[in-house]
Amino acid sequence: MMTDSRENKKVLIVDDDPMLRSMQKLFLGRHFDVDVAADGLEALEKIKYFMPDLALIDIDMPRMDGLTLMKELNIQIPGLPIIFLSGSGDLDKIQQALSGYTADYIMKPADNTDLLIRINAALTSSEKRRKDSEKAIAAATKELRDIKLEIINRLAKAAELRDPETGMHILRVGYMSGQIALASGFDAKFCDLMVFAAPMHDVGKVGIPDHILLKPEKLTFEEFEIIKNHTTIGARVLSGSHHQLIQMAETIALSHHERWDGSGYPGGLSGAYIPVEGRITAIADVFDALTSERPYKKAWPAEKAFLEIQSQSGKQFDPELVTCFLNIEDKILKLKDKFMDEFK
């Protein structure tokens, strides 16, 4: 008793014997969605609008024989399982031809039950191959994403570790920026890019001399002018890329110290003239810096830092983005918890 029938699977029967064709169609039609073709050329026409999950193919047919058809199908539908129905005289020919292809054969006259078992087995293993390759692609994609994130973080860390910030600050600024973008209605792709691009906001610090970057006392006017250059240096490090992610990181590096009221640097841009990526990162960066401990200050309680961000709405920060940021306080606190500072 066959229980493994798959009505939703499509089987293409290719045979020049009209009687055999219609008998198989009648029988297999009870288990699958079936279409028929009288030879290889007709089969190639059929697959333009009937995409089979398996083809049952006769060997000797006029116009285009089964083995030639197999090669064509293999190009047009890679991995399509094929079962040949063959006379005993064809065996050597088939076995030679099958090497390297996803194909099986069954001797004529085929017993219906045998045929159904073989079809189901071929469909099952083809499904498994498909799932395996999907898994392999997903794993490779994840690995690439992880490598990308790791390289970005290490690059950002190289800059951040020179000043009293930690690697976790970089991660948090990335994830918080992604959350602010999401809360502001940006699409998933933009938010994802923010997660990866925002951590690079301070890469330009690699170009700032240690005696200024690490100076514990208040900076002189001239020293602060030099610190400001980390924005343009960062943009230069990241410039000229064809990749959207690095282009976004360049924009952020250049604009994350601009202020909504125009009093920021390096461009003194104001309002919507400041790229939104920079406006978002600015909020995440300042909030995270306030709530982090530094050698010269204790970490602010989150409540106080939220109030500070709010008080800078319309001054340092984009007021609409501040509203979105304050709407997701719980998510921001969770990120703060999840990526706690490690000791350097």
Residues that bind Fe ion (CB under 5 A): 202, 285
Smaller CB distance to Fe ion: residue 15 or 285?
285
CB of 159 to Fe ion, least distance (A): 9
Residue 317, amino acid: F
Please say which residue, 102 or 255, places its beta carbon nearer to Fe ion. 255
Single out the residue of 169, 134, 132, 141 nearest to residue 153, CA to CA: 169
| Shortest CB 281 distance to Fe ion, Å | 9
Whichever of 40 and 167 has its CB closer to Fe ion, that residue is 167
Instruction: State in angstroms the smallest separation of the CB of 201 from Fe ion.
Output: 6
Judged by beta carbon, residue 50 or residue 265, the one nearer Fe ion is 265
**Which residue carries 């064709």 as its tokens?**
21
Given a contact cutoff of 8 angstroms between Cβ atoms, the answer to whether 114 and 106 are in contact is yes
Structure tokens at 10: 């499509």
Least Å distance between CB 253 and Fe ion? Answer: 8
> At its nearest, how many Å lie between Fe ion and the CB of residue 254?
10
Location of structure tokens 């709405």: 313
Torsion of CA 317, 323, 324, 328, to 10 degrees: 110
Identity of the residue, 58 or 285, whose beta carbon is nearer to Fe ion in the bound complex:
285
Q: Which C-beta is closer to Fe ion: that of 118 or that of 172?
A: 172
Considering the complex, state which of residue 80 and residue 171 has its C-beta at the smaller distance from Fe ion.
171
What gap in Å lies between CA 302 and CA 305, rounded to an integer?
5
CA dihedral (168, 171, 176, 179) positive or negative: negative
Residue 11 makes CB contacts below 8 A (sequence gap 6+) with 28, 32, 33, 34, 35, 52, 53, 54, 55, 56, 119
CB of 54 to Fe ion, least distance (A): 57
Give the shortest CB-160-to-Fe ion separation in angstroms.
7
Q: Which is nearer to Fe ion, 16 or 285 (CB)?
A: 285
- Of 52 and 167, the one with the shorter C-beta distance to Fe ion is 167
Nearest CA to 234 among 312, 143, 156? 156
For the bound state, the minimum distance from the C-beta of residue 243 to Fe ion, rounded and expressed in Å, comes to 22
Q: How far is the CB of 282 from Fe ion (least distance, A)?
A: 9
